[in-house]
Amino acid sequence: MNASTPHLQQREVTRLCIQCALLLLQHGAESMLVEQLSARLGISLGMDSVESSISANAVVLTTISQGTCLTSTRKNVDRGINMHVVTEVQHIVIMAEHKLLDSKGVEKRLEHIKPLRYPRWLVVVMVALSCACFSRLNGGDWDASVVTFLASGLAMYVRQVLTSRHMNPLINFCITAFVATSVSGLLLRVEYFHNASSVAMAASVLLLVPGFPLINAVADMFKGHVNTGLARWTMASLLTLATCIGVVMAMSLWHLRGWA
């Protein structure tokens, strides 16, 4: 019984380390951060070393304690970018390093992490306002800003509805871009907005720019995680392509004028 106690402890720590890595990867952390935090957690809980292999679809993690290796694998499912989860995991690791938490305490806190979600209406309003500001900064008049606000707000609502129904992200981005371009382009045909700048059409789809995945992709490749970086870059490029398809479909269907 006593001989098996270290092995049981290593199994528990291995499970916590890979749970930590999976939470970080699922919610948008870069690969180097995932690798470092999972290793720091394992070492703080008594392991000699923690090695991990991170890909876009899975995490493989090995703990080494007194010459014994234990490996675990988990499949990665994207749950959307959420820095609240990443921050909470970082706090847990720091507390474990300062001996404020043992393995039971870490397990309890990891299980109680809940992604912070803002109200839908607040997200819609703030996204619409940011796109309207981009329109104004890029030379659009106040009429163009109003058009951008309405089009991007409706597009963001459509995106949220499609996401809640677990729609494929590529189809989601395509439909959202179609809605944003259609609404902005058709509003520009209304007599009241007839003289508004057509920059509103371009600004209304800025909510679909995959900036965070692109930043993470470049960071991963610069820090040696080339495979994960390329996977993220490919996905971001596909999302951009889907957005372009939605824009072109709307412009072709409604015979809209260009973004000039």
In the structure, what pLDDT confidence band is assigned to residue 231 with cuts at 50, 70 and 90? very high
DSSP-derived letter for residue 27 is T
Q: How many whole angstroms separate alpha carbon 229 and alpha carbon 233?
A: 6
Q: What is the pLDDT of residues 187-207, one digit of tens each?
A: 999 988 888 888 999 999 999
Surface-to-core class of residue 160, CB atoms within 10 Å of its CB (0-12 exposed, 13-18 middle, 19+ buried) = middle
Q: How many whole angstroms separate alpha carbon 185 and alpha carbon 183?
A: 6
**How many other CB atoms sit within 10 Å of the CB of residue 84?**
13
Report the length, in residues, of the chain.
260
Amino acid at 126: M
CB hemisphere CA count around 142 (13 angstroms): 0
pLDDT of residue 17: 97
**How many other CB atoms sit within 10 Å of the CB of residue 212?**
13
Q: How many whole angstroms separate alpha carbon 251 and alpha carbon 201?
A: 10
What CA–CA distances, in Å, run from 95 to 7, 91, 102?
A: 24, 6, 9
pLDDT at 118 over 50: yes
How big is the CA angle at 153 (ends 250 and 245), to the nearest 5 degrees?
25
Q: What is the pLDDT of residues 16-32, one digit of tens each?
A: 999 999 999 999 999 99
How big is the CA angle at 25 (ends 23 and 14), to the nearest 5 degrees?
55
**How many other CB atoms sit within 10 Å of the CB of residue 124?**
20
State CA 54 to chain mean position distance: 17
DSSP 106-127: HHHHHHT-------HHHHHHHH
Contacts (Cβ under 8 Å, ≥6 apart) of 192: 143
Residue in this structure with the two tokens 């270290």, named with its chain if needed? 6
Tell me the sheet residues that pair with 52.
61
Q: Calculate what percentage of the chain has a pLDDT beyond 70.
A: 97
DSSP-derived letter for residue 48 is S
- pTM exceeds 0.85 for this model: yes
In the structure, what pLDDT confidence band is assigned to residue 121 with cuts at 50, 70 and 90? very high
Q: What is the pLDDT of residues 38-93, one digit of tens each?
A: 999 999 999 999 999 999 899 999 999 988 999 999 999 988 889 999 999 999 99
**Sheet containing 58-65: order of strands:** 49-54, 58-65, 68-75
pLDDT at 1 over 50: no
In the structure, what pLDDT confidence band is assigned to residue 258 with cuts at 50, 70 and 90? low
